Homo-oligomer: A and B are copies of this chain.
Amino acid sequence: MAQRRTIAVVGLGSMGKGMAGSLLRAGHTVFGIDLDERAARDFVAAGGAPGDAGERAEEIDILVLVVLNDVQTEAVLFGPGGWADRLRPGAAVVSCATMAPDFARSLAERCLAKGLHYLDAPISGGARKSAEGKLSVMASGSPDAFALAAPVLEACAETVFNLGDAPGSGSAMKAVNQLLAGVHIAAMAEAMTFAINQGIAPEQVLDVIPKCAGTSWMFENRAPHVVEGDYTPRSSVNIWPKDLGIVLDIARKSGFGAPLTAAALQQFLAASGSGLGAEDDAAVAKVYARNAGIRLPGDPA
């Protein structure tokens, strides 16, 4: 196996927890850091390094940030007591949150000013793939950043897209993927409810569309949730107001109009605003169903 590294993972939510576990399995010394003390304790019980990572910051080779967004990423690095001042020069920062490319570039520059190598490394694949060490990573950064971050990429990712040496390119590609993924989930919901409205059984749609030009990865993955009436969150509605909001923020700053993304965002906002935020993102179909007065599978008769 690769050389044993000392790694700190900040953010032990569904994605960070899976990555931290993959790093443990690969034999590294892994600190798990989370504001939720129970999540941090559970990780120590699962084999994580005990004690205060902050007091051993000099030992840390790689800091992996799997927090919610740009604001949290900046706070962890440059806020009061931030890690950018505690890591030793030459350490690597692997940043996994979805954020604007410009912001990723500025974080990379500020890190480099402190001698830290920043890998812009948004992740894709969901909680299960994270737990299995099979994420997709859309990565960009200097050759040094890639080399230093290699143990993390090897342990956590099935596919690493090397998008070049400019930080921000990884974040930009992640935004492109989220644009498509979010629009396709909303389109799935629009199509399934339209079909039901026209008297077609949803099982029939699921049988036909995957063999036709109208199919998408998201259709094939999410439409079964609607057909089964099962909205147990594999990936929740609340991801999308955030991620499509990021896409539209980037777009607006660049003078780029994105009407389909904007339409999809409205549907996810309606889902979230009406109390469906914690359900599976396929529950955006409930917004369509409600507006059209139709029943979905699993609805009471």
Question: Which stretch from A82-90, A196-204, A271-279 is at the chain B interface?
Answer: A196-204
A190–B179 touching, CB < 8 Å: yes
A184–B181 touching, CB < 8 Å: no
A212–B124 touching, CB < 8 Å: yes
- Name the B residues within 8 Å of A263 (CB-CB): 259-260, 262-263
B256–A264 touching, CB < 8 Å: no
Query: Which of B163, B175, B256 sits near A204, CB closer than 8 Å?
Result: B163
- Name the B residues within 8 Å of A288 (CB-CB): 256-257
Query: Which of B166, B191, B198, B213 sits near A221, CB closer than 8 Å?
Result: B213
A254–B213 touching, CB < 8 Å: no
Residue of B nearest to A258 (CB): B190
A136 CB to nearest chain B CB (Å): 6
- Name the B residues within 8 Å of A264 (CB-CB): 260
Q: A180-B214, A217-B216, A260-B264 are in contact. Are A173 and B200 (CB under 8 A)?
A: yes
- Name the B residues within 8 Å of A161 (CB-CB): 207-208, 211
Q: A176-B191, A208-B161 are in contact. Are A169 and B267 (CB under 8 A)?
A: no
A208–B172 touching, CB < 8 Å: no
CA distance A216 to B263 in the complex (A): 19
Closest 6 CB pairs of A and B: A180-B214, A216-B216, A177-B214, A172-B198, A181-B214, A259-B263
